[in-house]
Structure 1
Amino acid sequence: MEQRQPLTVKALTKYIKLKFDYDKNLQHLLLKGELSNVKRHSRGHLYFTLKDDEAQINAVMFASAASHLEFVPTEGMQVIVKGHITVYEAGGTYSLYVKEMTEDGIGNLYVAYTQLKERLATEGLFDARFKQKIPDYPQAVGVITSPTGAAIRDIISTIKRRFPMVTIYVYPALVQGEQAEASIISCIKQANAMNLVDTLIVGRGGGSIEDLWAFNKEGVARAIFESKIPIISAVGHETDFTIADFVADHRAPTPTGAAELAVPNLPDVLKHLNQLNARLNHNFNLQFKQKKDYLTQLCNHYIMKNPAALFEQRLMYVDQLSEKLNYVLQDQLTRNQTKWWTLHHRLLQLDPKASVDQAKQSLLLQDQTLRQLMLQHLSQSKQDYTVLLTKLELLNPLSILKKGYTVLTNDKDEMVTTVQDISVGQDLLISLDDGRVRASVKEIETSES
């Protein structure tokens, strides 16, 4: 049927809503999907997106039903929900109204997020010892984000309001989509190569886990870790945490919070400077007064009124030192002399010439003694020899020959002492004092005959 009268938007929306409400297939739905962009309202209502690999749908779970959940719905969680589809007339959108929700595992993105987080943590990329200090008073701040988003406007306005003298360098980057990872890495490397800024802010505004996924990439995490410039991560809202937040030197809950961390508040700085100036003036005046009082005391000192007294005291002190020095020198000289004489005496005792002279004297004495003993022994030996010679002479049988006696021997040169040893006709040798006579026996007479 051809429509002739135009409908109002309200009427069309109401018509569409009725179609949804009377379609039994849309009133008792059982859906399976992954939670994304989960937000809890202050009144307890739960707003989220239910999605799979190819599609997504906005959903709401009112406080009356959400209060009965036995778990806390989180980003990336796989769930099974019961509910119905209806149209929100004021907004002209359709949504899934959830009455029941049960867990059905964890989404693929959340699994990848968890695995990468654990691996980088094991490598030490999150360690506090690698965190760089954010400068207190930077001269230039770099911002890596989308040049058209709300985040860059919030950051610039906050910095200009808090610390207008700082220079802001914007490094335009893609913060969502397949090319976002390479774009963010390139900007970080470019900022480090140019070396124009003291601090870098890397981030974007809020969004679903898919929107923020570029900041969960390993390449972005390693680029932040390798940056020589301190980096403040400002990704999403206060409840959103990405891998970049854990690797960065400091994490801000929002882009505005990052700007507040990057620069000081000028009124606070001026107030602090005034406090320092007041403290400096106070300390200066205090030091000046103390020095002035000390100078006054010196001027009123009795020494200043009678400087000669100080000179006299110094002279007495010099005299005391001089006497002490003389005493010490004299004592040291005496000790050295004593030590020298002791060493000299020991040296004389150990002198080889003295030992040789002493040995020589001893040798001379021993030689004289030996000579005397030899002479005495020789004299005694001569006397003994004379006595023995005399005795021998007396006992020498040949000595009696001089007295007229003879010695009779046979032909065997044997001494004949009795007539019994000779016979008639035997030749005998008669020894006299001046020679020998050979004789032949003719007759033998004995003393008996």
Structure 2
Amino acid sequence: MEEEYISVTELTNHISKVLKRDSNLRKVFVRGEISNFKQYISSGHCYFKLKDENTIIPAVMYYSVASRLKFKPKNGMKVLIRGKVEVYSRNGAYQLYVNKLSEDGLGDLHIAFEQLKIELKELGWFDEAHKKEIPKFPKKVGVVTSPEGAAIRDIITTIKRRWPLCEIILFPSLVQGNMAMNNIVKQIYTADSQFDLDTLIVARGGGSIEDLWSFNERSVAKTIFYCDTPIISAVGHDIDFTIADFVADLRAPTPTAAGELAVPEINEVKDSLNNLNQRANKSINKKQEDNGEKLEKIKDRNLFIYPEMIYEKKAMDLDNLKSRLLSSSNEMIYASKFELDSLKRRLIDCSNKIIYDNNIKLSGLKGSVIFKNPNKIFENKSNKYFELIYKLKYGGDNLIYKKELKLLEYKNSFIFKNPKKLFEDKSGKYLKIKARLEYSSKNLLRDKKEDLKELKDSRIIKNPESILDKKIIYLGKYIDKLTVLDPLLTIKRGYTVSRVNGKVISKSKDLKVDDEVEIEFSDGKVNTKVI
């Protein structure tokens, strides 16, 4: 029997009819997360991907439905959708046509983003106090980005155009995927520690939150925060914000803008230098003219025309001073002589009074007892001495008597007459303390044995495999999430990758006539040519 071949269009139409006849696909209710959302201004139609942990499906929402929404759909938003599934005949892919859309919360990545943003803000990582100033005239600028993306080309072109004196050093890094985070951290650390850079730019092109997620990782933010080199973050487009943007010293909306912020415009610098040079020359000339006028005025003064006038005036001043000094000195000599005579008179009067007073005191001493009867003083002192000896002797005897009585009291005390009784009392207290210690140690040992028995009977000793099984389940879930991001799965779902000379083509305008295009499918590659 001869095989009958049909065209691609006929096959697509047949699949479309099969789906339309299936009543279960004409009215579906789906919950998922929005990704790659885009709304065209001209038509108002919305196109996005609806995804969960394992699968992604294209979705379309026409303007008639979108205009009735009370909120604006965003990437990462969890939604509830009522619609239908049909085949889009142009590319042969099935997609979800939305009839009604309602909000169901934010997606996991957006929740993680907001949580980390709040945490780092509370730590002060976003504060302006930690921001370093970007050098105005850099000699060496580093760039951490993909060596094959458009970002590095835009940055190099912008810097070379604006400030060709600057050296550009590329630190090639992955900017998307599971290994991108560690690669970005390593390259930032290398650029900061091993190269004497003035500024470091961390950049990549735009994309979905999944594509930019490497720049939302805590380790990347920590590396940027503790970097000594000033960093400009240029991740995504103007509407894209990442944690790296908030931590960096300066955010640029695009890689091109990062190049403009990193270096000055050389023509503007030249113009500024020319203006400063002109202003300096004008200022110097003006200063020179003013000083010349001042010099001419000084030359016209009498000081320079008749210099002897200064000497004559100073000579007159000196004569006046001599006259005043002589007059003052005579007055001071007269006043001093008058004051000296007055002091002499006062000194004679005081000395006569002192001599008179001392004579009176001497007469009083001659009439005192110590001169008339010195034996009387000796007798008084002797009596006091013997009285003191008597007191010392009596006090010593009395103290010895009291100490003897105290010693006798000690000899008749209980501790000397019956020391055995004291020993028996102390032994009894010792035995009581010993019994209490033995009782406490037995109770403690019994409690520890019961704790050991509870530990042996616990689930972690009897069934440790249950903990391992739980960890294996978590590991499986993480593997499933990583599998969703595998680019090979995207090809297996019907998508293709087009390349020209090994370079991936994402836009039709990048193709030219006679270009040889290599198209990669899930089961192989096909070469074709643009007509």
TM-score, structure 1 length as denominator?
0.70
Pair 1:330–1:156, CA change in 2 (3 A): farther
Give CA deviations for 1:180-237 in whole Å, capped at 9, x if unaligned: 2211111111111123210111121111111111111111111111111111111111
Q: Return the index of the structure with the highest Cα Rg.
A: 1
Query: What is the alpha-carbon distance in structure 2 between the residues aligned to residue 344 and residue 89 of structure 1?
Result: 138
Query: What is the alpha-carbon distance in structure 2 between the residues aligned to residue 186 and residue 339 of structure 1?
Result: 95
1:276 matched residue in structure 2: 276
2:31 matched residue in structure 1: 32
Pair 1:338–1:279, CA change in 2 (3 A): same
Q: Secondary structure at the match of 2:237?
A: coil
Q: Secondary structure at the match of 1:228?
A: coil
1:241 matched residue in structure 2: 241
Give CA deviations for 1:25-68 in whole Å, capped at 9, x if unaligned: 43323211112233333333333222111121232323332221
Give CA deviations for 1:237-266 in whole Å, capped at 9, x if unaligned: 111111111111111111111111111122
Q: Secondary structure at the match of 1:98?
A: strand
* Counterpart mapping for 1:218-297 below 5 A: 218-297=218-297
Query: What is the alpha-carbon distance in structure 2 between the residues aligned to residue 325 and residue 19 of structure 1?
Result: 133
Pair 1:277–1:105, CA change in 2 (3 A): same
- The answer to whether structure 1 residue 309 and structure 2 residue 306 are counterparts is yes
- The answer to whether structure 1 residue 358 and structure 2 residue 353 are counterparts is yes
1:123 matched residue in structure 2: 123
Query: What is the alpha-carbon distance in structure 1 between the residues aligned to residue 9 and residue 230 of structure 2?
Result: 54
Q: Secondary structure at the match of 2:209?
A: coil
Query: What is the alpha-carbon distance in structure 2 between the residues aligned to residue 48 and residue 203 of structure 1?
Result: 25
2:210 matched residue in structure 1: 210
- The answer to whether structure 1 residue 187 and structure 2 residue 184 are counterparts is no
**Which region of structure 1 is more displaced relative to structure 2, 218-227 or 359-368?**
359-368
Pair 1:332–1:258, CA change in 2 (3 A): farther
TM-score, structure 2 length as denominator?
0.60
Give the partner amino acid of 2:173: A
1:175 matched residue in structure 2: 175
Query: What is the alpha-carbon distance in structure 1 between the residues aligned to residue 95 and residue 325 of structure 2?
Result: 108
Give the partner amino acid of 1:244: A
2:50 matched residue in structure 1: 50
Query: What is the alpha-carbon distance in structure 2 between the residues aligned to residue 325 and residue 33 of structure 1?
Result: 112
Query: What is the alpha-carbon distance in structure 1 between the residues aligned to residue 199 and residue 57 of structure 2?
Result: 40
Pair 1:330–1:33, CA change in 2 (3 A): farther
Segments of structure 2 that go 5 or more residues without pairing to the other structure are 364-531
2:114 matched residue in structure 1: 114
Give CA deviations for 1:101-122 in whole Å, capped at 9, x if unaligned: 1110111111111111111101
Query: What is the alpha-carbon distance in structure 1 between the residues aligned to residue 330 and residue 319 of structure 2?
Result: 16
Query: What is the alpha-carbon distance in structure 2 between the residues aligned to residue 333 and residue 357 of structure 1?
Result: 34
Q: Secondary structure at the match of 2:183?
A: helix
Segments of structure 1 that go 5 or more residues without pairing to the other structure are 369-449
Give the partner amino acid of 2:189: K
**Which region of structure 1 is more displaced relative to structure 2, 179-188 or 79-88?**
79-88
Query: What is the alpha-carbon distance in structure 1 between the residues aligned to residue 77 and residue 151 of structure 2?
Result: 27
Shift in Å, 1:346: 8.1
Query: What is the alpha-carbon distance in structure 1 between the residues aligned to residue 331 and residue 206 of structure 2?
Result: 95
Shift in Å, 1:87: 4.1
Pair 1:297–1:243, CA change in 2 (3 A): same
Query: What is the alpha-carbon distance in structure 1 between the residues aligned to residue 336 and residue 18 of structure 2?
Result: 127
2:139 matched residue in structure 1: 139
**Which region of structure 1 is more displaced relative to structure 2, 107-116 or 265-274?**
265-274
Root-mean-square deviation (CA, aligned residues, Å) is: 3.9
* Counterpart mapping for 1:337-416 below 5 A: 358-364=353-359
1:373 matched residue in structure 2: none
Q: Secondary structure at the match of 1:278?
A: helix
Query: What is the alpha-carbon distance in structure 2 between the residues aligned to residue 190 and residue 278 of structure 1?
Result: 44
Query: What is the alpha-carbon distance in structure 1 between the residues aligned to residue 230 and residue 93 of structure 2?
Result: 44
Pair 1:309–1:245, CA change in 2 (3 A): same
2:509 matched residue in structure 1: none
- Percent identity, aligned pairs only? 42
Give CA deviations for 1:57-106 in whole Å, capped at 9, x if unaligned: 23232333222111122222111122333444445544333232111011
Q: Secondary structure at the match of 1:60?
A: strand
